[in-house]
Structure 1
Amino acid sequence: MARSHFTLAALSTAAVPGADIVSTRPIGTGTGGRYDSAVVTLRDRSELIVRVPTSQDAETEQSRDLVALNALTAGFRGRLPFAVPEIEGQTPVANTRAIVYGYIPGDPAVLAELDAADPVAESIGRAIASIHSLPTSLVTDSGLTVQTAADAARVARITKDRAAATGAVPSDLLARWSTALEDSALWQFQPTVVHGSLSPESFLIAGDRVTGVLGWSQLQVGDPAADLFWLSSAPSEQLATRIFGSYNLGRSTPVDRQLRKRARLYAELEIAKWLLHGTEKHDETIVADAKTMLAGLSVSVESDLLNPLSTDTGQIMAVEEVEEMLRRTPRTDSSSSRDSARVSGISED
């Protein structure tokens, strides 16, 4: 049974001695019921948020989050254009613990509601870039995970192989993923500090800017593309491009040219992970959902021949092959005229 916000407020007074609480309210954290959460208001009008994990998995995640937040000292936080949760106190409760954090104003971002013309898109790009520009000593000095480019490729390959073993992944997707995983040029990148579990809901938005970033349990050194895979689900290519553009400008070092391809690969492998999750849980509903998503992805990538995951473009097509491909690809009238012009240009060359 979920703890009431009054119970959570009482826990706050135990976790933060001297806290003079005048009111409390429940709050949804977008965590699917994995935490009981509430906001408490103090007499000085400042606010705190208290969270209690409701499962062992959530407790493990919370413990990792605490390690990461402690590693993010004031010096590192000062490099970020947004707030990171501050730990105010903790107290035992039942067989777990309640953690109290400073409250960061803002609402979790909703990807479907973001617009390319909205300044918040650039703010999100800058926020991600600032994380990736942090010194790697933040991670190494705290004993957190350090993943090389080869490690990233190996982990992705394991996911692909495990998904293939289920027999539920279309053969064209397996071939697509295998080609990308075997393309050494795709995996030539410099690892950076990464958040490790970014999603739209990780960003707190107030007005036209990111006010905070939550959920630091997977903080590590790794592939920066892993923090960008969710942009493959952006409601428009313009939105994704604007966020990527702002990200590129915000990075302290040049961005590798294959980052967006790896981000797309990670996005596709997320469906494979969903399939594996359903298989491991023996949940046929999840498995069926994953199969449907994989079938849709198969159709999608088949009609998107101009955007392969591999850096190897293969043999150059003859003019008649280009024309045939364009005839088979749905398009608007305006794009048809542009494509015809391109083909004519190829012929003249």
Structure 2
Amino acid sequence: MTEVRVVVAHRERATLRAGDVFLKIDADQTRTDVEVEAMGMAPVPTPEVLWRKPPVLALAALPGRALGRLGEPSTASPAAWAAAGAAVRKLHEAPLPPWPGRSLDEVASQLDVECEWLVANGVLPADLITRNREVAEAALRPWTPVFTHGDLQVSHVFVDGDEITGVIDWSEASRGDALYDLATLTLGHEEHLDDVVAGYGADVDLDVIHGWWSLRSLLGIRWLTEHGFDPTLPGCEVDVLRARM
């Protein structure tokens, strides 16, 4: 080990890298409970759990590199994106986890609250919020629950060449909408949606994907701002919303 590097840190949790070990420190141990159990159940590669001493979880580093980063062009091949889609399909076909996820009513209520906050505080132009709230309606429909990762950001999928080497950060795993995972994976990387859908190998309602892009972005802006992130950076959440105008 030559250094300790902060991977991500905010008021709720932090992740440090020390050599080939990731140390995850979480104020809410229920999230860590979910992460460890979900990784044990998931039929896709996940990091090895080295040890756990609350509030710290130690995980082995995965080989390869992230499929991409939000706000940056991905250098991964179309085949790697397709492999990610295939891995997500495998997860969605696995037995459901025993704990529930968010209900449709909970998601809709949270969206209303966040849109009202964005308007009341003048965070974004009203027409931008209104348009994306309309687009988000496509996602607000009944879904058949599957085993979802729940936070399948592109930076959470690791590849080596065209092969998936692992998926990290399972603390939001639950029963949920399959298309939410696909939308989260392709958020800000619309040019790779066709590759992911081809790898997924099933009919996908693109209007629902677009709806989840808008919905996730609208829900995330306040949290990101309050935790020291900037959703207005090029290619990030605000640009995702602007692309729907």
Relative to the length of structure 1, the TM-score reads 0.56
1:226-263 C-alpha deviation (Å, 9 max, x unpaired): 322352411x62x221112212x1x5xx5456432323
Pick aligned residue for 1:84 from 46, 66, 69: 46
Q: For residues 275 and 26 of structure 1, what CA distance do their matches in structure 2 show? A: 33
Deviation at 1:190, TM superposition (A): 2.0
Deviation at 1:103, TM superposition (A): 4.2
- How many residues were matched structurally? 236
Checking the alignment, whether the CA contact within 8 Å between 2:38 and 2:170 is kept in structure 1 is no
Deviation at 1:300, TM superposition (A): 4.0
Partner of 2:147, secondary structure, is: strand
Checking the alignment, whether the CA contact within 8 Å between 1:162 and 1:276 is kept in structure 2 is no
Q: For residues 87 and 105 of structure 1, what CA distance do their matches in structure 2 show? A: 15
Partner of 1:131: 91
Checking the alignment, whether the CA contact within 8 Å between 1:186 and 1:258 is kept in structure 2 is no
Partner of 2:82: 122
Partner of 2:57, secondary structure, is: strand
Whose helix proportion is higher, 1 or 2? 1
Q: For residues 176 and 241 of structure 1, what CA distance do their matches in structure 2 show? A: 24
Checking the alignment, whether the CA contact within 8 Å between 2:66 and 2:159 is kept in structure 1 is yes
Deviation at 1:217, TM superposition (A): 0.7
Deviation at 1:64, TM superposition (A): 1.4
CA 1:201 to 1:27, structure 2 compared with 1: closer, same or farther past 3 Å?
Answer: farther
Higher relative contact order (CA 8 A, sep 6+): 2
Does 2:176 align with 1:246?
no
Partner of 1:35, secondary structure, is: strand
Partner of 2:175, secondary structure, is: strand
Deviation at 1:212, TM superposition (A): 0.5
Deviation at 1:167, TM superposition (A): 2.6
Does 2:192 align with 1:218?
no
Partner of 1:35: 15
Partner of 1:113, secondary structure, is: coil
Alignment-mate amino acid for residue 101 of structure 1: L
Does 2:51 align with 1:51?
no
Checking the alignment, whether the CA contact within 8 Å between 1:84 and 1:213 is kept in structure 2 is yes
1:25-67 C-alpha deviation (Å, 9 max, x unpaired): 5475732582333246xxxxxxxx25153xxxx343x651343
Alignment-mate amino acid for residue 157 of structure 1: D
Q: For residues 221 and 160 of structure 1, what CA distance do their matches in structure 2 show? A: 25
Unmatched 5+ stretches in structure 2: none
1:137-161 C-alpha deviation (Å, 9 max, x unpaired): x2x2xxx342233333333233222
Written as runs of structure 1 = structure 2, the 5 A alignment for 1:251-266 is 255-256=204-205, 258-266=207-215
Does 2:80 align with 1:100?
no
Q: For residues 36 and 213 of structure 2, what CA distance do their matches in structure 1 show? A: 29
Checking the alignment, whether the CA contact within 8 Å between 1:153 and 1:181 is kept in structure 2 is no
1:14-33 C-alpha deviation (Å, 9 max, x unpaired): xxxxxxxxxx4547573258
Q: For residues 130 and 166 of structure 2, what CA distance do their matches in structure 1 show? A: 40
Partner of 1:217, secondary structure, is: coil
1:106-160 C-alpha deviation (Å, 9 max, x unpaired): 2222242335x53111111112222222222x2x2xxx34223333333323322
Alignment-mate amino acid for residue 145 of structure 2: P
Q: For residues 153 and 218 of structure 1, what CA distance do their matches in structure 2 show? A: 18
Does 2:118 align with 1:163?
yes
Q: For residues 71 and 262 of structure 1, what CA distance do their matches in structure 2 show? A: 26
Checking the alignment, whether the CA contact within 8 Å between 2:118 and 2:124 is kept in structure 1 is yes
Deviation at 1:203, TM superposition (A): 1.0
Partner of 1:146: 101
CA 1:72 to 1:297, structure 2 compared with 1: closer, same or farther past 3 Å?
Answer: closer
Provide the alpha-carbon RMSD of the alignment.
3.5
Q: For residues 93 and 110 of structure 2, what CA distance do their matches in structure 1 show? A: 23
Q: For residues 212 and 15 of structure 2, what CA distance do their matches in structure 1 show? A: 29
Relative to the length of structure 2, the TM-score reads 0.76
Q: For residues 197 and 148 of structure 1, what CA distance do their matches in structure 2 show? A: 16
Alignment-mate amino acid for residue 153 of structure 1: A
Checking the alignment, whether the CA contact within 8 Å between 2:187 and 2:240 is kept in structure 1 is no
Does 2:74 align with 1:113?
yes
Partner of 2:18, secondary structure, is: strand
Partner of 1:187: 141
What is the percentage of aligned positions where both structures have the same residue?
18
CA 1:157 to 1:130, structure 2 compared with 1: closer, same or farther past 3 Å?
Answer: farther
Bigger CA drift: 188-197 or 256-265? 256-265
Partner of 1:68: 35
Partner of 2:162: 208
Checking the alignment, whether the CA contact within 8 Å between 2:65 and 2:159 is kept in structure 1 is yes
